Amino acid sequence: MKASANEQSTRQFDLILYFEGRATGGVTGVLDGLRHALPAAMSIGTVCSSGAGLQEWRTTIEMEGCTVFPLALHNHAGLLGWFEVFRMMSLVRIFRHARIVHFHQHTSFSCLPAIACGWIACNRALISTEHYAAQLKFLRRRNLPFLLGWIRELRIHVQTRMKKLTLHALQTVVLVSHANLETFQSVFGNAGQPRLTVIPNGIPIRATDPDRSRARQHVRSLCGAGSFEHIVITVAALNNQKGHVILLQAAPLVLAHYPSTAFLCIGDGHLRSFLEQSRDSSGLKEKVFFAGIRRDIPRLLEGADLFVLPSLFEGMPLSVLEAMAAGCTVVATAVDGTREVVLHETTGLLVPAGDPKALAESIVRLLGNPSYCARLARAARHRVESEFAVQTMGFRYLRVYEDLLAGKEERTP
């Protein structure tokens, strides 16, 4: 018999994972990997959004035995959650019955009121992971009229002040790459509280099929009725960060050399209509395909020729790790955590962000050199196995949890 919400909230948990995002993506992938990599004896609960975008994910993790609290605060502008008093009261009650609370910040200013709830609950084992600290460099990337610019500056000022205050409630902040650590320190410094550490993301390492013909046939089935010699795939949310506009600008340059090439975009987001209109107006409707959210990504990556990620900034991109693990050669932008995953000319190619010509040139270079592609793919697979396996990530987090609990016991009178 399933426990009531009140019984669940007063249950003792070894670990509560807290996530405010409203859709699946890289962070939910990290949460899944972390739950599976930690010892089975650990009692783990997850606080997440009650929105429809996470319904399938919530159901899946509940079936796996994870207690789910659909009580995450809203993250609109990083401020709305402070006004959800009744949810905050529920969170305080839950956090009081957790040995460790681990906040996963999917934006630079997410989770702040929830961290305050942890402080109110007097929980002294609070940890956060900054998945997109690199976003701090892009808060002012758009030029705005004076009044809107002033409002933006006011919001950034308030958000930054609130974040600095909530940092004092945390014992540890994890950055997913050294580049993100440098960005975080440049904005917030490091006075020793909280402790800063780097733990790269990890993924499950699956066996690949030596015979890729079936995977190639499968991925081509998503590319309309055309018969294509090459498939270039990207897996990313359709938002301003991921650089799909740059990919659309690069596509004609690639097609000039390899006209029998299709570009397959996996993922969804608020820019989908705009990107589809841009594709159509550029005459690329028969070459660029948007397939939405898919559950067969490893198979699609195995069947594609190249994986491309033209992001403007990144934390530690799981999609790149997944492509490397699947043996799909990677072309990505030389930004933040991506540079720490893809070693240029060794495990893939890196290009400057926002440069469609450089992106196209690297794609053309690899499409014309299959043996070089295969060598990069083999080295990339080996790098993921040795450095970015989910078990490695889980072990590193477990050490942090143990240190947190040891410190908590020392402080307890």
Instruction: Report the Cα–Cα distance between both ends of the chain, in Å, rounded.
Output: 38
Q: Indicate if the pLDDT at residue 118 is higher than 80.
A: yes
Q: Indicate if the pLDDT at residue 355 is higher than 80.
A: yes
Q: What is the pLDDT of residue 140?
A: 85
Q: pLDDT tens digit string along 312-322?
A: 999 999 999 99
Q: Where are the domains of the chain?
A: 5-202+390-411, 213-387
- Identical fold, 5-202+390-411 and 213-387: yes
Q: What is the pLDDT of residue 412?
A: 42
Q: What is the pLDDT of residue 9?
A: 59
20 vs 78, more confident: 20
Confidence grade of residue 127 (pLDDT, cut at 50, 70, 90): very high
Q: Indicate if the pLDDT at residue 135 is higher than 70.
A: yes
For the ranges 25-34, 174-183, 207-216, the lowest mean pLDDT is seen at 207-216
Model's pTM, two decimal places?
A: 0.92
- Contact between residue 331 and residue 369 where contact means Cβ atoms under 8 Å apart: no
Q: What is the pLDDT of residue 383?
A: 97
Q: What is the pLDDT of residue 411?
A: 47
Q: Which fold has domain 213-387?
A: Rossmann fold (3.40.50)
Confidence grade of residue 3 (pLDDT, cut at 50, 70, 90): low
Chain-wide mean pLDDT for the chain? 92
For the ranges 85-99, 148-162, 373-387, the lowest mean pLDDT is seen at 148-162
Average pLDDT over residues 204-219: 89
Angstrom distance (rounded) from CA 332 to CA 209: 24
Average pLDDT over residues 190-213: 87
The DSSP 8-state label assigned to residue 76 in this structure reads G
For the ranges 127-141, 242-256, 321-335, 345-359, the lowest mean pLDDT is seen at 127-141
Q: pLDDT tens digit string along 32-66?
A: 999 999 999 999 999 999 999 899 999 999 999 99
Average pLDDT over residues 161-179: 94
Q: What is the pLDDT of residue 7?
A: 57
Q: Indicate if the pLDDT at residue 191 is higher than 80.
A: no
Q: Indicate if the pLDDT at residue 202 is higher than 70.
A: yes
Label residue 292 exposed, middle or buried (CB < 10 Å: 0-12, 13-18, 19+). Answer: exposed
CATH entry, 5-202+390-411, from 3.40.50.10070, 3.40.50.2000, 3.40.50.150, 1.20.1250.20: 3.40.50.2000
Q: What is the pLDDT of residue 413?
A: 36
Q: What is the pLDDT of residue 380?
A: 97
Q: Which residues contact 26 (CB under 8 A, 6 or more apart)?
A: 131, 201, 315, 317, 318, 319
Average pLDDT over residues 324-328: 96
Q: Which residues contact 57 (CB under 8 A, 6 or more apart)?
A: 24, 28, 48
For the ranges 147-156, 319-328, 395-404, the lowest mean pLDDT is seen at 147-156
Q: Percentage of the chain surpassing pLDDT 70? A: 95
The DSSP 8-state label assigned to residue 267 in this structure reads B
Q: What is the pLDDT of residue 137?
A: 87
